[in-house]
Amino acid sequence: MTQARSSQVSLQDTCYYHLISRCVRRAFLCGVDKYDHKSYEHRRQWMVDRIRFLSSIFAIDIAAYAVMSNHYHIVVHVNEAQVQGWSNEEVCQRWCQLYGLHPLVERYLSGSCTTAAEIDKASEVIEKWRQRLTDISWFMRSLNEYIARKANKEDECKGRFWEGRFKSQALLDEKALLVCMAYVDLNPIRAGMANSIKTSQYTSIFERAQGKSSYQDDVKTLPFSVKPLLGFIGSEHNNQPAGIAFSLLDYFSLIEATGRVIRADKTGSIDESSFPLLLELGISGDDWVDLAQYFGKQYHQAVGTLAELSQFALHTNKQWITGQRQQSAIFN
């Protein structure tokens, strides 16, 4: 039975989630169709542009992403503190980048509301929008509906473009977050689409390596600053409001070495003693390589220690989280 999205997200347990959407049947998100040889490669930029556009509007940061031929991955960070700092006017300004304003809210913003009841109702609507700007489901809805309409228009067809709802995986601690980010960033290499992170275009690791990302006109004309990828803040995380608590250089070094190992035409292993990040995480080289290749297939719903999984199950009204025994050897 399909579960309500609210039963799969618990922000009191974690603000990090791995999200996946896949195209229905033989629909192509990107790539080249082997039957009619039509190229859909330009749609990769659609995805990157829309992800950047939405992350700049929502109180949701992007930690990692990878745009593949018939699916995509995003690792997001929900920033509840940020949205609470926005004024009612800024919430409305952000919301109207995507949807129309309620007539009563327009009256409220112009100072035309004359009764307390009108002001209370307008404030109630704005508060609902404030909550939606931290809602993963609304973020994914705004992403998938836009891409589906644009692709169907280009293909001159109608109907479903995405395969049901997106999948969500809770990342309950920093170890789970970093392993998942590596799995996402290494997608093109694992699929044989690239042979190194330097050629893994339309991924967060490529964007971080380039130090920049191309934006569409809609992003450039936003009335507030364009949000970059969630940063690596290393040992300074205690003085930072949000960020990935590891060294970016250590992450690059580890991902580059892992990419060489998992290439189809290469064989090898990773010595954990050569990588500070693996020593910090307490993961062996063999376990790391296995996770980098199979994380998405081996783990579902949530990833973390047994104690974290138990709390997540309690807060999402589940009796059990799949794969607890399998996770216990690595994530404890």
CB 63 within 8 A of CB 188: no
Separation of alpha carbons 120 and 62, rounded Å = 34
**pTM, whole model, 2 decimals?**
0.92
pLDDT tens-place values along the chain, 332 residues long: 455 555 678 899 999 999 999 998 666 777 777 777 788 889 999 999 999 999 999 999 999 999 998 999 999 999 999 999 999 999 999 999 999 989 999 999 998 888 999 999 999 999 999 999 999 999 999 999 999 999 999 888 888 899 888 999 999 999 999 999 999 999 999 988 898 898 999 999 999 998 866 665 566 677 878 899 999 988 665 555 678 989 999 999 999 999 999 886 666 789 988 999 999 999 999 999 999 998 888 888 899 888 898 899 888 888 777 666 666 667 77
Separation of alpha carbons 251 and 62, rounded Å = 16
**Residues forming beta bridges with residue 32, ordered by sequence position:** 39
> What single string gives the DSSP state of each residue in 73-128?
EEEEEE-HHHHHTS-HHHHHHHHTTTSPPPHHHHHHHTT---SHHHHHHHHHHHHH
SS3 state at 303: strand
Nearest to 101 by CA among 139, 128, 79: 128
Give the E-state strand segments of 109-260 in sequence order.
167-171
| CA 50 centroid distance within chain | 12
Q: What is the DSSP letter of 265?
A: T
Q: Which CATH architecture has domain 11-83+134-328?
A: 2-Layer Sandwich (3.30)
Burial of residue 204 (CB within 10 Å: 0-12, 13-18, 19+) is: buried
CB 293 within 8 A of CB 265: no
Map out the domains of the chain as residue ranges: 11-83+134-328, 87-132
Give the E-state strand segments of the chain in sequence order.
16-22, 60-67, 71-78, 167-171, 302-303
**Residues forming beta bridges with residue 23, ordered by sequence position:** 162
C-alpha count within 13 angstroms, C-beta hemisphere, residue 255: 30
Nearest to 30 by CA among 69, 72, 74, 71: 69
- CB neighbours (10 Å) of residue 153? 10
